[in-house]
Amino acid sequence: MILVVTDFVTLSLSWYVYYLLRVRSGWLDVAIEPDFWAPMVLITIFWQILFLVVGLYRPWYAASRFDEMTLIFKTVTMGCLVLFFVIFMDDTGGTLGPSVRLLILLYWGVALAVVSVGRMAIRSMQRRMLIAGIGAHNTLIVGSAVRSRELFEEVSKYPALGYRVLGSVRIDRMEKKKSGGRDRDLQVLGTLDDLSAIIQREAIREVLIALDSKDHDRLLDIIARCSSHPVGLKIVPDLYDIISGQARTNQIYGFPLIDISPVIMPPWEEATKRLLDVGVSAIALVVGLPLWVLIGIAIKIESAGPVLYKQERVGKDGERYNIIKFRSMVEDAERAGPQWAHRRDKRVTKVGWLLRKLHLDEIPQFWNVLSGHMSLVGPRPERPVFVEQLSREIPLYPRRLKVRPGITGWAQVKHKYDESIDDVRKKVQYDLFYIENMSLRMDLKIIFSTVSHMLLGRGR
């Protein structure tokens, strides 16, 4: 919020300087003095939406200020090019004379300078606060005794990184016994078996992984144990080859770490993906309303029970919500408790069979998309009981909870219907592939493939 307010002030100031030069300087003959306030507000909002889309309002926690300034330069330049064609035209004839072109260049320079100065002031204040321990993230180091000690000493040299190290977790029980629970000023909080409980108890925000070469096979286990918690994961650089395609290097103050990121979609693509979700869902619900009414009538005529079926599912970051579908089974289909549905499940009604074949039973989930619980494309959401079971049986299954679940996904267009735990394991592989390669291009490919499956009747 501080960044948003600061940018609003600096962008408004930039417009004020431009207005003085254009209207009050005498460089240009202005027949009718343009309004000041309305354009200023609209242009400032334009800039802040642009900043949001490119990622200037994402958490730049312990990030390189040079990288931030580079992004600001690119964004201001791109934004001025847009404004060049939209509003920076001569009031009298629409032709751009030398004076107007100079004003556009001046506006670009003023906006770039003022916004950059405001940002640097905020980042400098943030750095001083972090050095003083204000706003630092509770941090845990996981690894061997020697590597954890080395990493702790390095992190301690750079308090501006914002890591408040509360202690370490040893991957070997014997190492904890030898240390007696304390390694000088680095407290040993437990072993790998205690990791999940420690993260929750100590409100850990960052986990730094420091492994020996012989312990590389422990990495997936550590990631799996952290996946169900909203924590950042970073490892020392020599482990990069193990997680190829899942890492992004982050180097500040000469201190390199590798950020394990489950989502690699750029901010502007994330914003576009959400706009696509909202737009397509709203259109589908409104335009197809007559068909949805007919489907409801058909369901009601064939069998007793409600038209819509609600079921609790687990969404992003473990959030629970009720998924909505057209009912395709008989009422009270799960009297015996939660169970896997099968391709020739006798509980499925005739209308339900057709809806499943054409994937039309999923249509009400567009409302889940509008409410923000789901996306058009993503891993399919599961029930809590199955999430708990699968998290125990399938490594890295909780990583699926790092993104919004979807109506359709890569697993749905590449694999058959779930009938066993082996089918789920196979689909998890496709889900993890999607998470590591998220992009608008891939989303569109999945959407077109899903539409093709619907038209060809390749449903369940």
Q: What is the DSSP letter of 348?
A: B
CA-closest candidate to residue 318, choices 398, 205, 243? 398
Residue 190 has pLDDT above 50, yes or no: yes
Q: Residue 7 and residue 51: Cα distance in Å, rounded?
A: 9
Contact by Cβ (8 Å): 144, 175:
yes
- Helices 267-287 and 289-302: crossing angle, nearest 10°? 60
101-151 pLDDT, tens digit each: 677 888 999 999 999 999 999 989 988 998 898 889 999 999 988 889 989
CA-closest candidate to residue 314, choices 302, 303, 322? 322
Its pTM stands at 0.68
**pLDDT on residue 219:** 84
CA-closest candidate to residue 405, choices 333, 326, 312? 312
Helices assigned H by DSSP within 26-97: 37-54, 65-86
Residue 333 has pLDDT above 80, yes or no: no
- Helices 289-302 and 350-357: crossing angle, nearest 10°? 150
Tokens of 454: 């619907």
211-259 pLDDT, tens digit each: 877 777 788 888 888 887 888 888 876 644 444 444 455 555 555 677 7
Q: What percent of the chain has pLDDT over 70?
A: 82
Return left, alpha or beta for 317; rule: phi > 0 is left, psi -120 to 50 is alpha, else beta. left
pLDDT band at 346 (very low <50, low <70, confident <90, very high): confident
Tokens of 294: 């007919």
Residue 373 has pLDDT above 90, yes or no: yes
For the beta carbon of residue 246, count every other beta carbon within 10 angstroms.
19
88 burial via Cβ count (<10 Å: 0-12, 13-18, 19+): middle
387-438 pLDDT, tens digit each: 888 888 887 788 888 899 999 999 888 866 556 667 777 788 888 888 878 8
Residue 204 φ/ψ, nearest 5 degrees: -70, 135
CA-closest candidate to residue 311, choices 218, 408, 386? 386
The mean pLDDT of 12-35, rounded to a whole number, is: 79
Higher-pLDDT residue of 167 and 18 is 167
Q: Residue 22 and residue 27: Cα distance in Å, rounded?
A: 7
Which structural domains are found in the chain, ordered by start?
A: 2-131 (no CATH), 137-260 (3.40.50.720), 267-455 (no CATH)
